[in-house]
Every structure is written in structure tokens, then in C-alpha cells.
Structure 1
Amino acid sequence: MAKIISKYFIAWVPSEKLCDQVHQLKLNLKDTFGLKYALKSPPHITLKMPFNWNEAKEDILLEKLKGYAKNLKAFSIQFDGFGRFGKRVIFVKVNENKDLIALQSNLTTFCKKELKLVSELSDRNYHPHMTIAFKDIKENEFDLYWKVISTSPIQAKEDFGSISLLKRKEGKWGVINRIDFMF
């Protein structure tokens, strides 16, 4: 049997209410400007960027992640307004949160040691956010996108009590397992 390598990433996925709100922002950008690339994944905060993994060992990956998450403690995070990375990414801002930074740093170490994943630049220069537009942004139209999106206020407070494993299937990302923290 041939080895099937798939793409996965680890993220936090918000409540249904916030997911719907952020998804609506993505849809508005699609309907107004044709920006649709961000619709290929559910709203999320990336904790570990996409990596390749043998599909036949997906259960091992899940068990290791469950082992990692079993002693984690939930905390709150807040979202307030929008941010951007130059003229290439628009996102919902996550307020500064030491617990989130520590969790991501510990997860990076876990992924390197236990999953044998390479530590990437994005692991070391972590800036938590929830992307609403990227890749198909036209730089010369960015100011117009920004003007439209920044008039849509967004504020939320959420419990961060789980991590999710997402998998790429047929060009789209979907949650295959949500792992709740024990505390």
C-alpha cells in the first residue's frame, strides 16, 4: 500500500458564534472584492503552521496531541478590531495574551521533540491573529479593502480551552478533531 502524505495544522477554533461572525467578514470581502482564499479554512488562530504527516499514522498524531493537551488549563482571550501585515494580510486582532504565547511556545517545543517537526520562523516570531484575507489580495486595492473592513467593528471574549487538528482535503481545511483541555 502506498504511503499517503497529507497536510495538517494545529489551531484554536472559536465558538460557533464568533466563527459565524468572522466567516461573515470573509464572505463580505468575497462578495465585495472577490477575495475568497481565506474561505478555504474555518476561522482560527494558528498554533502550528501546516506540516506533512503520514495519513496511516494520523491516530498516533491525535494520541500525542491528546497527551500534550491533557494537562493544559483553559484561559480567556479577547479580540478587538483589525490588523494587517503590510498590504498582504488582513486579520482580526487578538489582544496581547501571555497564556497564549506560552501555549504556542510549549507546543512548538512539543512538536519538535515528540512529532519531529521542524521549527519554523513563524514558530519563533509568533503573532496570534485570525486571518480574514490573504494570498488573493491585490496590493494596489489594499487601501480600499482596509477602508471597508475597518468600518465593521468586532470585539469578543472567548474561552481558549481546546486545540484542533485540521486536515487539508480537496483544497480546503477542515477540523478533524477538537481536543479539549482537562482544566
Structure 2
Amino acid sequence: MFETAVIDPVPSTEHLDLISQLDQLTLALTQAEHHAATILDFDPDAQVAIGYLAPDHGEPRDHLVSGCAMDVRAWRMLARACSGDADCHDDMTRLAFFLRERCQPAERLAPPTLAIGARVRLRTRPRAGGDRYSGREGVIVKTHFVGFYIKLDMSRRERTQKTELVETAYLELLASPAAPEPATV
């Protein structure tokens, strides 16, 4: 008997449009994909083998990442690592499939209440040796594709102000940023 090669259908033009709209997209990644994305964003010379992240074994895609967090080259590398090594697509087709599978609808996205100037409390994060900043409060001072930089309130014994990068999932909103007061004449 002859073996018949089955090739997945080429993505439609609407899915290829996702690549051109990458800056406006929010993608849901697994923890392993999120770590690989962080490395690819940090090191442009990093290489990940084709299909290295393909068997995700039902790992939840709960890390939301903005499409503008990395350049298209890094997204293509991540899509290549997440695709099965048996598929025979070019990198742009792989990226189109990757974006189609992981693109999040607007209703799943976190509400835009976390912004610079918002007051937050840090939830307990899984850290080796425990999370030393758990329960601390502070103000968001800068954004990052992983989360936010939080300027922590100083404890009585601290001599310096601490700023900590915290993933969005581990932040509890206490107060929205204050609206600018109208100017009086």
C-alpha cells in the first residue's frame, strides 16, 4: 500500500492578516512558551529547535502576552518551536497557524484598570525559598510585556526604595490611577 501525505490546509487570507496586525494582538501562551518568548526577546541570537515546544501535554495557555512584545522574527522562531517537526510549512505559514490558535478575543483580556499610577498588592508568587514581597503594596511605575514594575512601599526597616517586576496574574488592584484634576483658570 502507498502512503499518502496529508498536508494541512494553507491558512486563509484573514489568518495571514493576523501577522500584519500582530502589534494589536494579545496571545495566550503556555508557561514553557512564555519562558521561550522571554529568552527570544532578550537574546536575538537565541535558537530554538523546530518542534521543541510542540508536545504541550494539555498545559494551560494562561500567560497573556502582547504581540508588540517581540519582533516578527522572534514570533516566527517561537511558532517554529511550537509546531510539529513533521509539518512542511514555511515560517510565515507556521506563524499564521500559531497566531490563529493563540489569539485571544477581546472579552478574555484583563480589564484595562491596571495602569501606571494604580495602587496594587502583590499576591504570593511561587518562588524558591518563598516570596519575600508577598502581601506588600505599591504603585505601578512602568509596564513590561510580562507584567508591571511596582515601586513598593518602604517598610520601617528598609533604607532604600524597592522596585519589583511582577507578572499581572500576581497583582491585586487596590485603587485605580488618579484622574488628572482639571486645570483652573
Q: Which TM class, normalised by the smaller chain length?
A: under 0.3
Q: Whose RCO is larger (CA < 8 A, sep 6+)?
A: 1
Say which structure is richer in strand: 1
User: Larger helix proportion, structure 1 or 2?
Assistant: 1
Task: Give the greater-gyration-radius structure (CA).
Answer: 2
| TM-score (structure 1 length as normaliser) | 0.21
In the superposition, the TM-score normalised over structure 2's length comes to 0.21
